[in-house]
């Protein structure tokens, strides 16, 4: 799902990409896959920022950051924190 979201985002079909990330979130939660859940939250948040939904975007990005911290995944934290800072500037 995250791959399809990325492909749609790259093609400029942001609404489709958002739908794919939401679908990915649902499946990742159902399958108990926290790393994928975090990645979907981050991707969804970044797309919501791009479409002007800053408050919702910050909620998604915060969810990703919380999951990354809880799992000790540090690789994605700088990207997530930068996206959150960008979102906070637009609120």
Residue 58 CA to residue 8 CA, distance in Å, equals 21
Query: pLDDT tier at 28 (50, 70, 90 boundaries)?
Result: very high
Handedness of CA 74, 76, 79, 83 (dihedral sign): negative
Domain count within the chain: 1
Mean pLDDT, residues 4-25: 96
Q: Which domain holds residue 11?
A: 2-90
The yes-or-no verdict on residue 89 having pLDDT over 90 is no
The yes-or-no verdict on residue 59 having pLDDT over 80 is yes
pTM of the model: 0.94
Q: The domain that contains 78 carries what CATH number?
A: 1.25.40.10
Interval 73-82: pLDDT, tens: 999 999 999 9
Please provide the average confidence, as pLDDT, over all residues in the chain.
95
Helices (H), the chain: 2-10, 14-30, 34-50, 54-71, 77-90
């Amino acid at each position: 799902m995250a791959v399809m979201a990325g492909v749609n985002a790259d093609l400029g079909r942001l609404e489709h990409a958002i739908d794919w990330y939401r679908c990915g979130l649902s499946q990742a939660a159902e399958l108990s896959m926290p790393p994928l859940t975090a990645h979907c939250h981050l991707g969804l948040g970044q797309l919501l920022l791009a479409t002007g939904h800053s408050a919702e975007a910050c909620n998604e990005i915060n969810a990703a950051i919380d999951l990354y911290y809880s799992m000790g995944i540090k690789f994605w934290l700088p990207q997530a924190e930068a996206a959150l800072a960008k979102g906070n500037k637009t609120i």
